[in-house]
């Protein structure tokens, strides 16, 4: 029996009925609407439900050798003029430059539908991707890619009630990984006519991105800035830089997604100064997601799952993680990360270094394997990139990290939790954590005093090799570590836990390698232990 190419589309449209996305009334089947009088001529001629506009009816060929952008933008504009609707992409390859989203309009990519980012036109030739626009007064406070949105394959600004959905694919084949005029590489300095993002949204609300794939997404697979009520559900992203950056957004759910991003971060909440004012990222849930940096580009989507050759002289750094930061002017509030898997990538990072508050964060039920740097990295720093005189060191407080299983981690860093002198990370609870690492730490490493690097770009590598194998805590106040086990695959002589300027710590039921020191303290006070193998119960000195 031949499958009906509209069946899945009609089923998915029901999800959006009555929300201003599909342009249909709640509870009314699109197929029934197609039989009603007064429907548009395009719908009648193609058999599409009313409110659904097929891009082929507007001249899109879908053959992959000529630009379909004008036809697609006409379809979107027509839907918007009618008060809303769904723009339908049937099976085919749609070669495009910049596609312009509109309020109350959704894009639906059916099975076999691929929107392909076309190559830029030759430099100096008019056309191509939309211009990023003029420099902004706050351009220096974040990367060029964060300051501009229109130089993208698909973009929208100041919109409401929009969606992209369906089982199809967005392929950023012609997008660049960077186009910063400040770059030291001449090939990356070109700005006009080139695109660097697959999907870019600014100052929008009520946005849904569901079920499609992004292959080779450019600088950002998704860049959402100042977006409220954002749902990202069921996406597979296999890309050459960041998977998704969620910047200065509110009420966000990122669920059921898989991101392979070997050369950069996977899922990245940020709070930059790109809007020209401070705006936190808040009320966010990230759950049931898989992040990795282990696989060659495209092999997650095509199902071959080819790992990088470990013996190759140059290979991907396997970043691929979940990270809050690096841009952190506006702060982070009320964040939940749960039921996620990290696979051969960097670990979890919570960072605030540009003067903002990072607070009320819960991380739970995380499985990690093959972590290439620090499984857990918390950094309160003083980079303070922002308007002169307007920033001061912020806060990182009220964080719970629990139920973490990490195996086969690199041994160079361990878990790092570090504030800066005079500014402590506060009210931190670490519970039910298992860290297995490869071991091999030496006496020379145990004698290292890591530099403060107060104003450096944050990341585990900023400190160099660490003097502890399990947890390094510096400039921390009120911390509890309970039900924790640290395991080394080979002998490691570094202490399991090292505290420097820690004021108030409770250690409960902690297991460490028997051949290693359990705890080393410097300038720390009010540290108590109970049921910690190798330590006497009570106050430690």
| Tokens 């300038």 -> residue | 523
Residue 373 falls within a domain, yes or no?
Answer: yes
Cβ(277)–Cβ(138) below 8 Å: no
Asked if the structure places residue 264 within a domain, the reply is no
- Answer yes or no: is 450 within a domain: yes
Q: How far apart are CA 244 and CA 252, in angstroms?
A: 13
In a domain, 468, yes or no: yes
Query: For residue 255, which of 289, 282, 217 has the smallest C-alpha distance?
Result: 289
User: Hey, what are 297's tokens?
Assistant: 């580009």
Instruction: Answer whether residue 350 is part of any domain.
Output: no
Specify which residues 405 forms β-bridges with.
367, 434
State how far the Cα of 326 lies from the Cα of 332, in Å rounded to an integer: 12
Q: Which two tokens stand for residue 496?
A: 């399991």
Per-residue pLDDT of the chain (541 residues; tens, 9 = 90+): 444 444 455 445 444 433 333 333 333 333 333 332 233 344 434 456 668 999 999 999 999 999 999 999 999 999 999 999 999 999 999 999 999 999 999 999 999 999 999 999 988 888 899 999 888 999 999 999 999 999 999 999 999 999 999 999 999 999 998 877 776 677 677 788 899 999 999 999 999 999 999 999 999 999 999 999 999 999 999 999 999 999 999 999 999 999 999 999 999 999 999 999 999 999 999 999 999 999 999 999 999 999 998 777 667 899 999 999 999 999 999 999 999 999 999 999 999 999 999 999 999 999 999 999 999 999 999 999 998 877 799 999 999 999 999 999 999 999 999 999 999 999 999 999 999 999 999 999 999 999 999 999 999 999 999 999 999 999 999 999 999 999 999 999 999 999 999 999 999 999 999 889 999 999 999 999 999 999 999 999 8
Helix (H, G, I), strand (E, B) or coil at 495: coil
Looking up tokens 């139920």, which residue turns up? Answer: 403
Residue 428: beta bridge partners?
A: 399, 479
Sign of the CA dihedral running 63, 65, 66, 67:
positive
Compute the distance between CA of residue 244 and CA of residue 232 in angstroms, rounded to an integer. Answer: 10
Residue with tokens 């990088």: 308
Which CB contacts under 8 angstroms, 24+ apart, belong to 23-31? 23/51, 23/79, 23/82, 23/83, 23/84, 23/85, 23/86, 23/104, 24/49, 24/50, 24/51
Beta bridge partners of 447: none
Distances in Å between the Cα of 125 and the Cα atoms of 64, 65, 188, 192 are 21, 19, 18, 10
In a domain, 423, yes or no: yes
Strands, E assignment, 271-356: 281-287, 290-292, 323-324, 332-343, 348-352
Return the bridge partners of 252, or none.
230, 284
Using an 8 Å Cβ cutoff, are 513 and 461 in contact?
A: no
DSSP category for residue 119: P
Strand partners, 210: 233
pLDDT of residue 258: 98
| Residue span of the structural domain in which 447 resides | 366-541
Q: What is the pTM of this model?
A: 0.90
Those residues whose C-beta lies under 8 Å from the C-beta of residue 309, and which sit 6 or more positions away, are 315
Residue given tokens 């351009």 in the structure block = 139
Q: How do 332-343 and 281-287 pair as beta strands?
A: parallel
Distance of alpha carbon 28 from the chain centroid = 36
Residue 263's nearest CA partner among 220, 311, 309, 305 is 220
Exposure b/e, 368-384, CB count within 10 A at least 16 = b: bbbbbbbbbbbbbbbbb
In-domain check, residue 307: no
Integer Rg of the chain from CA: 25
Q: DSSP 3-state helix, strand, coil percentages of the chain (rounded to 5)?
A: 10, 45, 45
For 11-25, give the DSSP string. Answer: HHHHHHTTTTSS---
Give the count of beta carbons closer than 10 Å to the beta carbon of residue 12: 20
What does the alpha-carbon distance between residue 253 and residue 240 come to, in Å, rounded to a whole number?
A: 23
Both tokens assigned to 268: 């990245």
Phi, psi of 159 (to 5 degrees): -115, 165
Instruction: Tell me the residue ranges of DSSP E strands in 450-537.
Output: 471-488, 497-511, 519-522, 525-532
Residues 6+ apart with CB under 8 A from 508: 480, 481, 482, 483, 529, 530, 531, 532
CA distance 34 to 165: 21
- For the beta carbon of residue 69, count every other beta carbon within 10 angstroms: 20
| Inter-CA distances, 253 with 149, 451, 474, Å | 22, 37, 33
Number of domains present in the structure of the chain:
1
The 8 Å CB, 24+ separation contacts for 70-74 are 72/96, 72/99, 73/99, 73/100
Does residue 442 lie in a domain region? yes
């Amino acid at each position: 029996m031949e499958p009906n190419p509209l069946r899945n589309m009609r089923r998915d449209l029901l999800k959006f009925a009555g929300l201003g996305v599909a342009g249909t009334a709640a509870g009314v089947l699109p197929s029934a609407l197609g039989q009603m009088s007064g429907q548009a001529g395009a719908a009648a001629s193609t058999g599409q439900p009313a409110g659904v506009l097929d891009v082929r009816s507007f001249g899109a060929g879908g053959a992959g050798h000529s630009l379909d952008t004008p036809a697609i933008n006409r379809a979107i504009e027509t839907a918007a003029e009618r008060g809303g609707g769904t723009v339908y992409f049937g099976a085919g390859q749609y070669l495009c430059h910049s596609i312009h989203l509109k309020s109350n309009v959704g894009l639906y990519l059916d099975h076999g539908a691929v929107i392909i980012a076309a190559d830029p036109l030759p430099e100096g030739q008019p056309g191509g991707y939309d211009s990023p626009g003029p420099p902004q007064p706050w351009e220096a406070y974040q990367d060029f890619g964060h300051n501009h949105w229109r130089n993208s394959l698909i973009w929208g600004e100041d919109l409401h009630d929009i969606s992209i959905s369906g089982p199809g694919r967005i392929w950023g084949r012609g997008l660049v990984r960077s186009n910063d005029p400040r770059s030291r590489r001449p090939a990356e300095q070109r700005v006009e006519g080139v695109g660097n993002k697959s999907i870019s949204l600014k100052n929008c609300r009520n946005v849904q991105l569901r079920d499609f794939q992004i292959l080779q997404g450019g600088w950002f697979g998704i860049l959402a800035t100042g977006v409220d009520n954002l749902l990202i559900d069921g996406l597979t992203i296999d890309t050459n830089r960041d998977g998704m950056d969620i910047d200065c957004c509110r009420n966000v759910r990122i669920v059921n997604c898989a991101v392979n991003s070997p050369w950069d971060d996977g899922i990245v909440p940020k709070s930059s100064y790109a809007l020209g004012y401070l705006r936190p990222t808040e009320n966010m849930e990230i759950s049931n997601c898989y992040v990795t940096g282990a696989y060659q580009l495209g092999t997650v989507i095509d199902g071959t799952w080819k790992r990088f050759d470990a013996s190759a002289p140059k290979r991907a750094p396997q970043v691929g993680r979940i990270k809050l930061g690096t841009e952190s002017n506006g702060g982070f509030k009320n964040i939940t990360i749960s039921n996620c898997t990290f696979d051969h990538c960097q670990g979890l990072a919570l960072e605030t270094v540009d003067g903002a508050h990072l607070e009320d964060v819960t991380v739970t039920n995380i499985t990690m394997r093959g972590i290439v740097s620090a499984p857990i990295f918390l950094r309160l720093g003083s980079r303070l990139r922002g308007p002169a005189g307007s920033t001061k060191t912020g806060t990182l407080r009220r964080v719970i990290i629990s139920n973490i299983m990490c195996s086969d981690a690199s041994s160079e860093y361990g878990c790092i939790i570090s504030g800066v002198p005079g500014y402590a990370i506060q009210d931190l609870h670490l519970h039910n954590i298992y860290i297995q690492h490869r071991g091999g730490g030496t006496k020379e490493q145990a004698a290292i005093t890591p530099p403060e690097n107060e104003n450096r770009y944050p990341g585990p590598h900023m400190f160099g090799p660490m003097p502890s194998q399990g947890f390094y805590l510096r400039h921390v106040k009120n911390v509890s570590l309970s039900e924790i086990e640290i395991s080394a695959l080979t002998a490691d002589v570094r202490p399991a836990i090292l505290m420097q300027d820690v004021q108030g710590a409770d250690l409960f039921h902690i297991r460490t390698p028997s051949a290693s020191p359990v705890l080393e303290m410097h300038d720390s006070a009010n540290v108590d232990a109970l049921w910690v193998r190798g330590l006497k119960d009570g106050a430690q000195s």
